[in-house]
C-alpha cells in the first residue's frame, strides 16, 4: 500500500515513511492510494472472530509487509487489550464505550497502535524521533501514555492554556521521562497550526519530527476498529445501523466512513458537534468556511478548522450530495448538552460525558426524522470523570474516580508556557 499527499505535490510513499513523516513535504495529509474491500465471508463470520483477529485483517492491507504478521498481531493485541461495552439506553439507542483504556479516552487505541508501530519501525535506526502533537483534551494524555518510555522517541505535547479539564491536564503534564508538555496561550487551532508549521521548517529537519495527531495514518486508521467491534456486537439485531460520532478534528468519523468503504455494513453516520460547527454548516450549504474556535464544556471538540475533513471530502470526491447520503451533521450548545446529560441519566441512570451527550443529541434528532427501522449508537469517547465540574453540577451527583487516576491527580503539573511558534522552535532546538 502506498500513500499520497492530498495536496498532490509530493511523492507517494509506503506506510513506514508516512508514519515517521506524519505529514507530507507539501503539508498535505497522507491518504491510501486505494481502499481495500474485505470479502463478504469476513462479515458473515465476524461474530465468531476475536477482536485482535478482526483488527489484524482490517489494518494489514494498509501496513503491507512493513510489519510482519506475527509482530502486527502482537501490536493489535496489545492495542486492544481492554473492553468495548455497549450499553443500551432505550430500545433503539445504545452507547458504545470507548473509554475503558488506560487514559479513559477513545484515543488510547490510535495512540497505542501508533506508539508500538513507530517503535518497531524505528528499532533498527540509530536516531531519535520527536513526536510533536497538539491536543484539545484527550489526545495528549493518550499519546503521553502510549509513548511513555519508548526508546528513541521524545514526545512534545502542545495544549491550550485553560481549555482542557484538570484531569486531562494532569494526564499530559505529570508523566516526565520522555514526555514534555507545552502550555500554549491560545486555542487548539493555534497548537495544531504550530505543529504543521514545524513539520515544514527546514531549520528543524535534524529533529526527525512526526505527529501523533490523527493527521498521522497510524493514529487515524486504527480508529476503524471501533466500528467493526460495534457491528460485531450488534449484528444480531438485523436492523439498519447508524453511528453518531462526537466530532472535533474529524479523524474518528472519517475512519468509520473508511470502514464502510471496506464493506462494513453501517448505513449512516452522524457528525455531532458543539458550536464549532464547520462541517454541519458545510453539509447544509455546500461551502466550507471554518471559524475561530469557541470554548465549550465538550472541549475535545473545540476545533474550528478540523484537519481530517479533507480526507472525508476525498472519499466522496468533493461531492457534497454523495456525502450527505452517508453523513449528517448537527450542532448543539452547552445548555442543550447539559439537558442531554440529564435526559440520558433519567432514562436509565447512565452517566454520560458532555461529548457523548452531544452524540446522543445528534442521534436522537436523526432518528426522529426516519421512517425506517434504525438502531442507533452514540460513542462515549471519554469517561465522565474527566469532566467532573460539568457532570457534577448538571446531574447533582458524585462521579467515582477510578483507581488508576487517583495517583495522577496527586502529582504536580509540570509544563512550559509558550506564546507563539518562535518559542516552540527555540524549545525544540535547545
In a domain, 76, yes or no: no
pLDDT tens figures, 275-290: 999 999 999 999 999 9
Closest CA to 110 of 136, 130, 140: 140
In a domain, 419, yes or no: no
In a domain, 362, yes or no: yes
Supply φ then ψ for residue 5, to 5 degrees. Answer: -85, 135
Burial 70-109 (b: 16+ CB within 10 A, else e): eebbebbeebbeeebeeeebeebbbbbbbbbbbbbbbbbb
Helix (H, G, I), strand (E, B) or coil at 13: strand
Cell of 9: 505535490
The per-residue pLDDT for 140 is 83
> 107, 163, 196, 364: which is the annotated catalytic residue?
107
In a domain, 72, yes or no: no
In a domain, 386, yes or no: yes
Q: For the chain, how many structural domains are there in total?
A: 1
Annotate 53-93 with DSSP letters as a single string: HHHHHHHHHHHGGGS-HHHHHHHHHHHT-S---EEESSSSE
Query: Where does the pLDDT of residue 23 fall: very low under 50, low under 70, confident under 90, or very high at 90 and above?
Result: confident
Q: Model's pTM, two decimal places?
A: 0.91
Helix axes 107-121, 138-147, angle to 10 degrees: 40
Mean pLDDT over the full length of the chain: 93
pLDDT tens figures, 307-365: 999 999 999 999 999 999 999 999 999 999 999 999 999 999 999 999 999 999 999 99
- The verdict on whether 107 is a catalytic residue reads yes
CA atoms 116, 255, 95, 137: torsion sign: positive
Q: What CATH number is associated with residue 268?
A: 3.40.50.1100
pLDDT tens figures, 198-253: 988 889 988 888 888 788 999 999 999 999 999 999 999 999 999 999 999 999 99
In a domain, 121, yes or no: no
Mean pLDDT of 392-412: 87
Q: Which helix (H) or strand (E) element contains residue 302? A: none
In a domain, 14, yes or no: no
Mean pLDDT of 171-186: 92
CA pair distance 14, 73, nearest whole angstrom = 19
Burial 147-156 (b: 16+ CB within 10 A, else e): bbebeebbbb
- As to burial, measured by CB atoms within 10 angstroms (0-12 exposed, 13-18 middle, 19+ buried), residue 211 is buried
In a domain, 162, yes or no: no
Sequence-distant (≥ 6) Cβ neighbours of residue 408 within 8 angstroms? 167, 170, 171, 174
Give the structural domain span for 347: 82-105+220-400
Amino acid at each position: 500500500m502506498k500513500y499520497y499527499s492530498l495536496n498532490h505535490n509530493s511523492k507517494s510513499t509506503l506506510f513506514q515513511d508516512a508514519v515517521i513523516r506524519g505529514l507530507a513535504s507539501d503539508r498535505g495529509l497522507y491518504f491510501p492510494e486505494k481502499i481495500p474491500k474485505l470479502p463478504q465471508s469476513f462479515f458473515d463470520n465476524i461474530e465468531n472472530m476475536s477482536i485482535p483477529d478482526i483488527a489484524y485483517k482490517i489494518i494489514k492491507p494498509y501496513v503491507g509487509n512493513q510489519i510482519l504478521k506475527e509482530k502486527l498481531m502482537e501490536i493489535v493485541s496489545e492495542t486492544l487489550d481492554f473492553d468495548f461495552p455497549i450499553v443500551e439506553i432505550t430500545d433503539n439507542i445504545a452507547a458504545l464505550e470507548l473509554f475503558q483504556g488506560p487514559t479513559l479516552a477513545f484515543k488510547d487505541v490510535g495512540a497505542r497502535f501508533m506508539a508500538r508501530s513507530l517503535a518497531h519501525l524505528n528499532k533498527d535506526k540509530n536516531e531519535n524521533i520527536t513526536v510533536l502533537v497538539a491536543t484539545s483534551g484527550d489526545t495528549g494524555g493518550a499519546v503521553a501514555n502510549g509513548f511513555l518510555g519508548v526508546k528513541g522517541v521524545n514526545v512534545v505535547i502542545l495544549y491550550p492554556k485553560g481549555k482542557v479539564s484538570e484531569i486531562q491536564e494532569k494526564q499530559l503534564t505529570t508523566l516526565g521521562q520522555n514526555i514534555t508538555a507545552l502550555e500554549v496561550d491560545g486555542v487548539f487551532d493555534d497548537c495544531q497550526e504550530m505543529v504543521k508549521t514545524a513539520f515544514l521548517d527546514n531549520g528543524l529537519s535534524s529533529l526527525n519530527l512526526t505527529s501523533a495527531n490523527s493527521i498521522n495514518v497510524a493514529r487515524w486508521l486504527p480508529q476503524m476498529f471501533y466500528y467493526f467491534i460495534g457491528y460485531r456486537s450488534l449484528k444480531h439485531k438485523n436492523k439498519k445501523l447508524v453511528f453518531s460520532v462526537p466530532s472535533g478534528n474529524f479523524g474518528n468519523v472519517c475512519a468509520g466512513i473508511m470502514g464502510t468503504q471496506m464493506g462494513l455494513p453501517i448505513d449512516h453516520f452522524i457528525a455531532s458537534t458543539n458550536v464549532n460547527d464547520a462541517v454541519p454548516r458545510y453539509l447544509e450549504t455546500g461551502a466550507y468556511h471554518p471559524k475561530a474556535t469557541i470554548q465549550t464544556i465538550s472541549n475535545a471538540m473545540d476545533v474550528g478548522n478540523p484537519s481530517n475533513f479533507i480526507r472525508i471530502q476525498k472519499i466522496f470526491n468533493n461531492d457534497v450530495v454523495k456525502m450527505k447520503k452517508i453523513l449528517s451533521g448537527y450542532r448543539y450548545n452547552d445548555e442543550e448538552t447539559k439537558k442531554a446529560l440529564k435526559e440520558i441519566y433519567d432514562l436509565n441512570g447512565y452517566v454520560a460525558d458532555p461529548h457523548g451527550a452531544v452524540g446522543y443529541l445528534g442521534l436522537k434528532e436523526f432518528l426522529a426524522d426516519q421512517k425506517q427501522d434504525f438502531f442507533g449508537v452514540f460513542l462515549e469517547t471519554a469517561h465522565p470523570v474527566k469532566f467532573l465540574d460539568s457532570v457534577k453540577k448538571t446531574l447533582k451527583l458524585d462521579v467515582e474516580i477510578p483507581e488508576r487516576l487517583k495517583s495522577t491527580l496527586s502529582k504536580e503539573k509540570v509544563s512550559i508556557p509558550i506564546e507563539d511558534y518562535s518559542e516552540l522552535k527555540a524549545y525544540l532546538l535547545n
